[in-house]
Structure 1
Amino acid sequence: MDTDQYLEMFIEESKEHLQSCNEHLLELEKNPQDLGIVNEIFRSAHTLKGMSATMGYEDIADLTHMMENVLDAIRNSRIRVTTEILDVVFQAVDYLEEMVIDIASGGTGKKDVRELVESLNAIETGKNAIISAVAETAVTSVLAEENGTVEPLLYDGYEMTVITQSAEQGFNAFEITVQLRDDCLLKAARVFMVFEILEKSGEIVKSEPKVEQLENEEFDDMFTVALITKEDASILKTKVMKVSEIETVTVMPITIHNQSKENEVEAAQNTGTVTTILDEAEAKKDPTEQKDKKNTGAHSGNKTIRVNIDRLDILMNLFEELVIDRGRLQSIATDIQNPELTETVERITRISGDLQTIILNMRMIPIETVFNRFPKMVRQLARDLDKKIALEIIGAETELDRTVIDEIGDPLVHLIRNALDHGIESPAERIAKGKPEEGTVTLRAYHSGNHVFIELEDDGAGVNRQRVLAKAIKSGIVSEEMAETMTDRQVAELILASGFSTAEKISDVSGRGVGLDVVKNTIESLGGYITIESKEGQGSLFQVQLPLTLSIISVMLVELESEVFAIPLTSIIETAIIKTSEIMSAHNQKVIDFRGNIIPLVNLSEIFEMPGTADVSDGHQSVVIVRKGDKLAGLVVDSFIGQQEIVLKSLGNYLQSVFAISGATILGNGQVALIIDCNALIK
């Protein structure tokens, strides 16, 4: 089967199922008696197994099957949930994630899992005999077909358990028989497309012929699939019929009878057990809900589609070009002063503004895609450190542009590891301090204006002022005189300095001596900043501020000599015209008094080595007050041009090291303007 076109879909859906397994395993550890959670994990694992087998990744399918066996034993109360058993299942999920990532990077998805398989087998000891005994009373389903009778599907004990338990939870159980056209050329491809549709609608329990035979086109023109779903038969039939080269689709409820021919009479009496359960479940539903379902029909399905992120990137690039041309049109309309042209340009500006909002929203991704990896990580690190730690996540639905999402994961991992290793004390230490033995780490995200704030708070030991200052003085980061005047917040933020670490010994958990300056640099490269508040003995709060998007930004255009530069509005406090007489000197640095604060002046003409200097012939200078965290500076420019939305373009690989320039943009008149990196100018 040609799987290239389906590979990306397989990878994305596999990641979703594995993430679901992780989340539910964490829930199961807290509620080991809740078999509903086990069923959820089982469904994800079973779907992943089917997808992997269909795509030809047998190693993934085999490992998932072994994991299923353990889950089935738990579900049927043959083994009891323990932390040690969950450790092995978590490891299986980790291996599966590694195999999927390997496939995503062009690999084969193969991995030596023999030791892990032995562990899973050891957990599941004695299960095979039980399954064999159950299989003796296996049941079948009979599906009527328009052109005759389809060969009944045979279900083993496990498959029947899935069907009956799903029915008890209000799911429908159907057998779907698909007849391909006689002239169908790509039978395996059509089968895959049908499987893809059905897996999105529910869980495939069984197929006849088997997946391997379907994949190798070892069948005539007909195949049958058993499906557990919430959807109606008519909706399923409509969806499957949309696949090309399909002759007929028949959807029938699964009915049960005993396999033994000697008991056919009894079977006739018992036929429809599952159907009856389904009908009862349906009858219990709200009548209004059923009425709505009838009225909406196929439109009641999910109104979302999966779009390749590369396509969104292309769309964004095209729109960026449109923004540049929009600016050009505005410039021309201003010069010509034609009323009709001006009106048209204003309309284009409004429409493109709405289009920009839609495109940016399409690129927004919930930050839970980053946060969802942390619960399992905290569980494992807490065990490694022999600590008791609870992770609380708030605001995971907060959305960020994918360009920011892609970069923020690693810094957050480092902050969490630091909090667990250096922040949260051991249970014995916490009890001695009168604290609960279980420490709490809270990760929250929220919007504020055009920014997203991510906060990591712990109730641990906080920053030890004396220890940090001693290390900072020893490293030459601050002098003893400076140390005496520093506030607690300033001391706490010393741990962000380059190479700073108070670790007594190198630890795999907190980063092997790598300081938090890496986190700080990454965040600042994204146009954000990080602050720290800490109370010794009570805990610490790390706050990260990030822009919503990095692609289209609002800037203040300023002029230096004949060149135009752009300063991001997110960094600007205000603009001002100051008298040259107000400029003072301190430590060989020009400064001004800005609302009671002494802030340094930075002459951009000198920074960029431009031939002239700011025009001070009238005794005044134009200054842009900018900030980085709680630090301010005044950028001296020749003149202000105005505010504008611009498209941020990279300078490319050859110009990455240009000081204080973060990118460039093309203005409406075709001129290139460099974008100033205010973070680099404020020390």
Structure 2
Amino acid sequence: MALDIKKFLGRFTGEARDHLERLETGLTTLSAGGTLDGETINGLFRAAHTIKGSARMLKLDSIAETAHQLEEVLGALRDGKLQQPPELGSLLMRGVDAISALVEQVEPSGGQLPPPDQALCAALAQAAAGTTSTAEAERSGAANPPDPEPETPASAPIATPSTDVRAPETVRVRMEKLDELIKLMGEVVSSQSRFRQQLLEARALDAAFQSLLRDTCAVPGADATRLAEQAAALHRFTLSLRDLIMEEELLTGDLNDRALIMRMLPLAIVFDPIARVARELGRDLGKEVHCEISGGEIELDRHLIDRLSDVLVHLLRNAIDHGIESPQERQAAGKPSLGRIRLSARQEGVGILIEIDDDGRGLDRDKILAKAVQKGLIDSASASAINDDQVAELIFQPGFSTSAIITDVSGRGVGMDVVKRTIVDDLQGALSVSSRPGKGTFMRIQLPLSLAMMRVLLFQAGGQSFGLTAQHVAELIRIPSGETIQVADRPAIVLRNEFLPLIPLAELLRLQEPRGHAGEVGLDPRPGGASHLVVVINVHQSKLGLVVDRLLDERDMVIKPLPEHLRGLGMVAGMVVTGTNELVSVLQAPALLAAARRVRGETLTATEPARTADKPPVGQQILVVDDSRNTREIEKEILEAHGYRVTLAEDGLDGWQKALGGHFDAVLTDVDMPNMDGFSLTARLRENDRYHGTPIVIVTSRQKEEDKQRGIQVGADAYIVKGDFNQSSLVETLRNLLG
């Protein structure tokens, strides 16, 4: 089903007007003979770039093309390739006017716009390339003015302004205000549970009063009559209160649903740029890649979409870098040289399912296991016993990577770890990976439609209250104790011809000691014993039966995030407040499944190492080499903020001399520098016994694959492109390299 873009046209029009106003303000100065500073030009460039990107997403090609040419001229201005004569300002203003005219036609035409002004676009292109003078370009752009309006006949009546001045049909609201509204609606819905609790207490009082009345009325008299009247009034009040609360719940629920819809956006916002990213990344890596996309019309909460973009880019980069082979490898394997990646989405139950499927080489089992043994994640003796699903889980371990060098594309061992934590912890979802050797890798992401309100099942285990989001609850069953069996020395039941493993939740959470043998989990298998209440959870077709004490409720609730100091609790997603003002922990179904597997001995036998991010460096010395003072200072500030001690060098030769005069735990170096470049510095450091094994990170603006390969050849451990540079990637890279 194609994406219906019409409902987004009004939003585009409002945003475009704001950017056009910014462009007009800046360009008026230029056309009047003034000059623009670099910051102003950057702002104008970003405005044109935003208009172009939004127009392309909505298939408004005329606006996108004109904005693109405008952006090219502003980019040349920003880079100092053009002067700033008034004629250039006039030409750019004509471009702004042309876009403004098209924007005003967007809603009335339903997005069906006339073609762009080709003469104007050509003039802008010439100005950007500097192939003709600005004055000539301006005259060229004006050579084909629009057809003049036909003259009004003398007999025609003079038009008068319409008095029907209508307010616009749309009003722009800042996202922060909408978030506040939805948060408030969530609190209102949560408060309904307290109303229901009060209603239950009122009904209990009514029932007690009715019982008292029956006892009292056994003795006739005036007091009994008055008591009966009061009891009837109380009963009527209870019924009226019940009806009022039910009506209020319906209205509030409808209002909450409508508020949430206001924040829903199509996945196309994230999906559409993916194909371009795939092409560009494939080109950088020397691979031919085509990305097929479907399901962009599925709508998702804006907060989920904002976090999902980086996740999908991480997975896409991993698929292209590690999965898709080079054209030569594919042809040798009997595959077409063009690699394919399919990205799709569909609604499934109360959430959505996103699938990423590639036809590459699949996961390299031997390479992954060798790296896992090297990092101490598993021991060599147990490596052969690990199944394919467990091998796939290894790629999500912190700091895990099979790349020869860390780059902006892959290899830090940060991306996949962050991806899984984002999906599971932040987005309340689940992620699974399966692989077919030589045929490709298949990833599934399950997400709720919104995080504002979620259906939560409340229950008790070990005398404490807990919750689970409904998307991971398959069913609830009650089984007689005599129906439990032992499968591989573990309790289970046969449910619809399938074995369902069982585990008491209280034992899994270590709220009580196992009732079986030492180190085992047990349930009473004797016929005639107490029955067991089981919550069946389902995470990517893997099921587990959690034995609980009793059910409490199921309702839509606001899940509040954990405080910062408790975010590391892997099994807890957040907290909810019940009608009795009790704080209840909402558990992570994927984490429970993983913990149960560990108890049953189905996963890694070695203890998972503590995350390196949790171990601050203790005065480790870092040498930063860059000929840009600004870059040096930025990197220094970032590293010192994380506990590192930093020494600066202004070029390769200065870096070499300082390296010889001291001792450093790691080196960060640029490539293009006077006196000695970064490649030469890296090679010389590797020849020195003192720095033979020292981590070296290249941070450069060079992003071609041959430059990264040269980085490998000279001995660099990591290669970060400045365009992709950010604080977290630098720090995480160093922590992984330094251990």
User: Given that residues 424 and 590 in structure 2 are in contact (C-alpha distance below 8 angstroms), is that contact kept between their aligned partners in structure 1?
Assistant: yes
- Are 1:624 and 2:546 matched, yes or no? no
SS in 2 for 1:650: coil
- Are 1:580 and 2:485 matched, yes or no? no
Q: What corresponds to 1:22 in structure 2?
A: none
Residue deviations 1:251-297 (CA, integer Å, cap 9, x gap): xxxxxxxxxxxxxxxxxxxxxx96755669xxxxxxxxxxxxx9998
Q: What corresponds to 2:592 in structure 1?
A: 681
Q: 2:418 is matched with which residue: 518, 535, 551?
A: 518
Q: What corresponds to 1:459 in structure 2?
A: 359
User: Given that residues 502 and 547 in structure 2 are in contact (C-alpha distance below 8 angstroms), is that contact kept between their aligned partners in structure 1?
Assistant: no
Summarize the Cα distance change of 1:364–1:607 in structure 2 as closer, same or farther, 3 Å threshold. Answer: same
Distance of 1:534 and 1:564 partners within structure 2: 39
Q: What corresponds to 1:324 in structure 2?
A: 190
SS in 2 for 1:567: strand
CA RMSD of superposed structures (Å): 4.8
Residue deviations 1:543-578 (CA, integer Å, cap 9, x gap): 211111122111222123554322221111222223
Q: 1:409 is matched with which residue: 309, 312, 328?
A: 309
Q: What corresponds to 2:282 in structure 1?
A: 382
Q: CA deviation at 1:529?
A: 1.3
Summarize the Cα distance change of 1:418–1:606 in structure 2 as closer, same or farther, 3 Å threshold. Answer: closer
Summarize the Cα distance change of 1:317–1:628 in structure 2 as closer, same or farther, 3 Å threshold. Answer: same
Distance of 1:385 and 1:636 partners within structure 2: 50
SS in 1 for 2:420: helix
- Are 1:599 and 2:510 matched, yes or no? no
Q: CA deviation at 1:327?
A: 1.4
User: Given that residues 66 and 117 in structure 1 are in contact (C-alpha distance below 8 angstroms), is that contact kept between their aligned partners in structure 2?
Assistant: no
Q: What corresponds to 1:395 in structure 2?
A: 295
Summarize the Cα distance change of 1:340–1:49 in structure 2 as closer, same or farther, 3 Å threshold. Answer: same
Matching residue's letter, 1:507 = T
Matching residue's letter, 1:427 = P
Q: What corresponds to 2:466 in structure 1?
A: 565
Q: 1:552 is matched with which residue: 439, 445, 453?
A: 453
Summarize the Cα distance change of 1:15–1:422 in structure 2 as closer, same or farther, 3 Å threshold. Answer: farther
Residue deviations 1:116-154 (CA, integer Å, cap 9, x gap): 624x54xx9xx99xx98xx9xxxxxxxxxxxxxxxxxxx
Summarize the Cα distance change of 1:90–1:621 in structure 2 as closer, same or farther, 3 Å threshold. Answer: farther
TM-score normalised by length of structure 2: 0.54
Range with greater deviation from structure 2 (477-486 or 368-377): 477-486
Distance of 1:633 and 1:495 partners within structure 2: 23
Equivalence map 1:253-402=2 (5 Å)? 276=147, 303-337=169-203, 338-402=238-302
Q: CA deviation at 1:668?
A: 2.0
- Are 1:641 and 2:552 matched, yes or no? yes
Summarize the Cα distance change of 1:580–1:51 in structure 2 as closer, same or farther, 3 Å threshold. Answer: farther
Distance of 2:305 and 2:489 partners within structure 1: 42
- Are 1:668 and 2:579 matched, yes or no? yes
Summarize the Cα distance change of 1:524–1:160 in structure 2 as closer, same or farther, 3 Å threshold. Answer: closer
Matching residue's letter, 2:509 = I
User: Given that residues 430 and 437 in structure 1 are in contact (C-alpha distance below 8 angstroms), is that contact kept between their aligned partners in structure 2?
Assistant: yes
Q: What corresponds to 2:602 in structure 1?
A: none
- Are 1:496 and 2:396 matched, yes or no? yes
Q: CA deviation at 1:601?
A: 0.6
Distance of 2:328 and 2:38 partners within structure 1: 44
User: Given that residues 460 and 466 in structure 2 are in contact (C-alpha distance below 8 angstroms), is that contact kept between their aligned partners in structure 1?
Assistant: yes
User: Given that residues 461 and 549 in structure 2 are in contact (C-alpha distance below 8 angstroms), is that contact kept between their aligned partners in structure 1?
Assistant: yes
Residue deviations 1:428-476 (CA, integer Å, cap 9, x gap): 3333344443333332222222112222222322233444455456656
Q: CA deviation at 1:52?
A: 5.3
Q: What corresponds to 2:511 in structure 1?
A: 609
Distance of 2:357 and 2:428 partners within structure 1: 22
Summarize the Cα distance change of 1:341–1:434 in structure 2 as closer, same or farther, 3 Å threshold. Answer: same
Distance of 1:424 and 1:450 partners within structure 2: 33
TM-score normalised by length of structure 1: 0.58
Q: What corresponds to 2:350 in structure 1?
A: 450
Summarize the Cα distance change of 1:95–1:392 in structure 2 as closer, same or farther, 3 Å threshold. Answer: farther
Matching residue's letter, 1:506 = I
Summarize the Cα distance change of 1:611–1:471 in structure 2 as closer, same or farther, 3 Å threshold. Answer: closer
Q: 2:41 is matched with which residue: 46, 51, 62?
A: 62
Distance of 1:517 and 1:467 partners within structure 2: 18
Distance of 1:506 and 1:161 partners within structure 2: 44
Q: CA deviation at 1:382?
A: 2.6
Matching residue's letter, 1:681 = L
Matching residue's letter, 1:578 = I
Summarize the Cα distance change of 1:427–1:303 in structure 2 as closer, same or farther, 3 Å threshold. Answer: farther
Distance of 2:24 and 2:333 partners within structure 1: 52
Summarize the Cα distance change of 1:374–1:443 in structure 2 as closer, same or farther, 3 Å threshold. Answer: same
Q: CA deviation at 1:322?
A: 1.2
Q: What corresponds to 1:117 in structure 2?
A: 79
Matching residue's letter, 1:327 = S
SS in 2 for 1:328: helix
Q: CA deviation at 1:304?
A: 3.3
Summarize the Cα distance change of 1:277–1:344 in structure 2 as closer, same or farther, 3 Å threshold. Answer: same
Distance of 1:410 and 1:607 partners within structure 2: 33
User: Given that residues 458 and 468 in structure 2 are in contact (C-alpha distance below 8 angstroms), is that contact kept between their aligned partners in structure 1?
Assistant: yes
Matching residue's letter, 1:339 = L
Counting matched residue pairs gives 473
Q: Which consecutive unaligned segments of at least 5 residues does structure 1 have?
A: 1-11, 18-42, 71-85, 97-112, 136-154, 172-198, 204-227, 233-272, 281-293
User: Given that residues 49 and 62 in structure 1 are in contact (C-alpha distance below 8 angstroms), is that contact kept between their aligned partners in structure 2?
Assistant: no
Residue deviations 1:51-80 (CA, integer Å, cap 9, x gap): 65689985355358799999xxxxxxxxxx
Residue deviations 1:396-441 (CA, integer Å, cap 9, x gap): 2322112322322222121111112112222233333444433333
SS in 2 for 1:530: strand
SS in 2 for 1:541: strand
Distance of 2:568 and 2:73 partners within structure 1: 38
Matching residue's letter, 2:450 = T
SS in 2 for 1:496: coil
Q: Which consecutive unaligned segments of at least 5 residues does structure 2 have?
A: 1-10, 30-34, 50-64, 109-143, 152-160, 204-237, 516-521, 595-739
User: Given that residues 482 and 529 in structure 2 are in contact (C-alpha distance below 8 angstroms), is that contact kept between their aligned partners in structure 1?
Assistant: no
Distance of 1:556 and 1:643 partners within structure 2: 4
Q: 1:506 is matched with which residue: 383, 400, 406?
A: 406
Summarize the Cα distance change of 1:621–1:68 in structure 2 as closer, same or farther, 3 Å threshold. Answer: closer
Distance of 2:12 and 2:72 partners within structure 1: 14
SS in 2 for 1:682: helix
Distance of 2:36 and 2:198 partners within structure 1: 58
Distance of 1:157 and 1:90 partners within structure 2: 11
SS in 2 for 1:348: helix
Residue deviations 1:159-204 (CA, integer Å, cap 9, x gap): 67987xx6xxxx9xxxxxxxxxxxxxxxxxxxxxxxxxxx5x756x
Range with greater deviation from structure 2 (528-537 or 46-55): 46-55
User: Given that residues 460 and 537 in structure 1 are in contact (C-alpha distance below 8 angstroms), is that contact kept between their aligned partners in structure 2?
Assistant: yes
SS in 1 for 2:403: coil
SS in 1 for 2:395: helix
Distance of 2:72 and 2:94 partners within structure 1: 26
Identity over aligned pairs, percent: 30
Q: What corresponds to 1:74 in structure 2?
A: none
